[in-house]
Structure 1
Amino acid sequence: MDTRLPDDAGQLADAATRRFRRLGGVDAARRAEADPATRETARKALDELGVFDLDVRADADQLLAGAVLCRAAGAVVLPWPLIPHLMRVSGRHLVLIDPGHVRVDHGAVGLSWLGANVTGSAWPLEAGPPDVAGRLGPFVTGAVLGEEQPGRIDSDDIARYLTLQSWTILGALESALAEVTGHVRTRHQFGRALSQFQAVRFTMADVTIAVRGLEQLAKLTIWRLGRGDADQRVADAMALRLHAAETAVTTLRASHQMYGALGFCDETDLSVLDRHLQPSLRYPLSAERLARALVPFAGSGALTSRIA
């Protein structure tokens, strides 16, 4: 099976990667922590790429374009809420939430928010200031729920959101893998590069296979979103999102093991990638709660590996 991206999607991915590099790559997120106003440069970069004209609901090509943009943005943990913009509903920026513990990444950028849970219930959100106490990411804010809306968010939108979130995680993990691969090749102990030690090689092989596996599942899932019934599409997206979270745990744990204490210092891109990725890994649901949410789909037969 040929899993290469179509030429148009590949060219868009390359253009986005080059533009985000001109922003400074991961360093743009690092600068934004010191001066949140610099996030406006990320929004301008997205505007230059034509992101705000995309309609990921229109057809499979535009959804794939959104996915490759999310992957490129995830690779530099772009300090702007890209997915909520791609998934906006009636002028409001859609974000999936846990209604019992409402948090919004980049909630303070001044957008109009619409929160929804994974079953489609929706509420207007009023985002607060940065959530300093126990926050899970540099730009996470609390939010206040308005009155629940009478309509529901379409299940396909839930599937699209979770899928785009998984592509964002994929991009960040690919950057972490590249970062730690360079480290083990250049870091020497006992007169040898770390990459020459067998245990390190085994660990790096496991992580590389895990990240490449996530990439293949992400491509398969986005292809399957145009097939099957609504329950199957949501189940596919949830399964991908769960696998992305599990792969992130494996990748980040191994990366920090290779770096040691240095990996928790903000001088390294790994530290920035890890901290900025946490909201995508934990919201709207933790990996454990996602797994529980998948159980009914397994019982109904919607969770299947069969390719129609």
Structure 2
Amino acid sequence: MDFTRDESQDAIAEVVVSLLERNSARDFELWPRLVDSGLLAVPLPEKLGGAGMGLAEVSVLLTELATDAVAVPALPTLGFGVVPLLAALPDEPAERVFGAVADGAVLTAALSEQAAPFTVEPETSAVTEGGSVVLTGRKVAVPYAAEARWLLIPTDAGVALVEADTPGLELTPSPASGGNPEATVRLTGVTIPAAQLLALPLPVLHRAAVATIGSVADGLLRGALALTAEHVRVRHQFGRPLAQFQAVAQQIADLYVVSRTVGAAAQSANWALAQDDSSPEHLERIDDDLEVLAYTVASELPAAMQKCHHLHGGLGVDITHPMHRYYSQAKDLARWLGGASFRLDRLGARCTST
């Protein structure tokens, strides 16, 4: 295996860095500039005007955005939406959906139900009635649900592609650490065409979501570590830079180790998932890597962010300081994954079964 970025991935990283250097916005105001840059078309099929790239390039894009803690719907649109849909969307809706994404439409996925993060047995029902499918159920912690044009809804009969303005779809905003839009989604007799109940296996959706969450976690911790290291370099206490105190240097070293660990786990999982290999042995390796990644992010990322906050002192508590964006987004990622205990149970069950 080789995690070295190729020329295409380097070019994507350079475009993201250039975009952030030219624009001061780090929230939804940046989204139109991201659209204009063509970055949202990176994974879209060439026949629809995209670049025809895949998960590896999307991973680089998400990591670079997260390095500056950019709060835009790139993760749900590309990681939860476009990447898993590439091999599952029929031609007619593909033209509508992917064409709209290139123009800035937001996609998202409802991965969790109440007390069931990344649920593998959805209670949301899908009942076929002639040429239509009727959906009933409730999803929680759906990012950018109110801003999305389409939502991917896992059901007991497959993953449904639902337009946001479909009658019977009700959104209730829910609080999130970072203040990014999130909602509970209720479906009461939501009717969609049968063609929008997709032949998309739920594990495919979950794999793409966990892998891209890992990419964002990698970028967040890289950015927070750089911010913290610069702070302790220039901040003086008792006439010396904070970085010269042994306890501070040791904590920065610990953060570096955690950052490299999260980065290695994310790169390994994304590399494995991006390979064109559907053999049972390779899928087993992918799922192993993703469980390790999910646990590492859920357990290590929030603790590392807390240490970065601590090293910033009182300055880190100020919500106008950039550190707040990193910490709050990290907490949301860990919550979406279900938390450290949930992920440890999943990882342990996988170890005992093999």
Pair in the same fold by TM > 0.5 = yes
In structure 1, distance between residues paired with 2:51 and 2:18: 26
1:128 aligns with 2:171: yes
CA contact (8 A) 2:215 2:267 kept: no
CA contact (8 A) 1:180 1:259 kept: yes
* Equivalence for 2:260: 212
Structure with greater helix percent: 1
* Equivalence for 2:55: 63
Q: Deviations over 1:249-268 (max 9, x none)?
A: 23212111111222010231
* Equivalence for 1:28: 26
Amino acid at match of 1:28: R
CA contact (8 A) 2:233 2:242 kept: yes
Return the TM-score normalized by structure 2.
0.71
Cα shift at 1:113: 1.2
* Equivalence for 1:10: 10
In structure 1, distance between residues paired with 2:53 and 2:333: 24
Q: After superposition, where does 1:41-60 map in structure 2 within 5 Å?
A: 41-55=30-44
* Equivalence for 2:145: 107
Amino acid at match of 2:206: I
Q: Deviations over 1:62-119 (max 9, x none)?
A: 21100001101212232322132222445493425321160122222242212349x9
Cα distance change of structure 1 residues 104 and 157 upon mapping to structure 2, 3 Å threshold: closer
1:221 aligns with 2:269: yes
Cα shift at 1:190: 0.8
1:156 aligns with 2:204: yes
In structure 1, distance between residues paired with 2:186 and 2:199: 16
Q: After superposition, where does 1:255-294 map in structure 2 within 5 Å?
A: 255-294=308-347
Q: After superposition, where does 1:163-178 map in structure 2 within 5 Å?
A: 163-178=211-226
Cα distance change of structure 1 residues 40 and 107 upon mapping to structure 2, 3 Å threshold: farther
**Rg: which structure is higher?**
2
CA contact (8 A) 1:130 1:139 kept: no
1:93 aligns with 2:107: yes
In structure 2, distance between residues paired with 1:277 and 1:210: 14
Cα distance change of structure 1 residues 253 and 277 upon mapping to structure 2, 3 Å threshold: closer
CA contact (8 A) 2:42 2:58 kept: no
1:191 aligns with 2:180: no
Q: Deviations over 1:212-247 (max 9, x none)?
A: 122122222222223534343233223212212223
Return the TM-score normalized by structure 1.
0.81
SS in structure 2 at match of 1:128? strand
SS in structure 2 at match of 1:184? helix
In structure 1, distance between residues paired with 2:64 and 2:170: 26
Cα distance change of structure 1 residues 64 and 137 upon mapping to structure 2, 3 Å threshold: same
Cα shift at 1:128: 2.6
Structure with greater strand percent: 2
Cα root mean square deviation, aligned: 3.1
CA contact (8 A) 2:146 2:182 kept: yes
Which stretch of structure 1 is more off in the superposition, 285-294 or 221-230?
A: 221-230
Cα distance change of structure 1 residues 128 and 186 upon mapping to structure 2, 3 Å threshold: same
Cα distance change of structure 1 residues 299 and 127 upon mapping to structure 2, 3 Å threshold: farther
- Unaligned segments of structure 2, at least 5 residues: 90-96, 98-105, 116-139, 191-196
- Unaligned segments of structure 1, at least 5 residues: 30-38, 302-308
CA contact (8 A) 1:17 1:72 kept: yes
In structure 2, distance between residues paired with 1:239 and 1:8: 28
* Equivalence for 1:238: 291
SS in structure 2 at match of 1:28? coil
CA contact (8 A) 1:238 1:290 kept: yes
In structure 2, distance between residues paired with 1:114 and 1:66: 19
In structure 2, distance between residues paired with 1:239 and 1:222: 12
Which stretch of structure 1 is more off in the superposition, 65-74 or 106-115?
A: 106-115
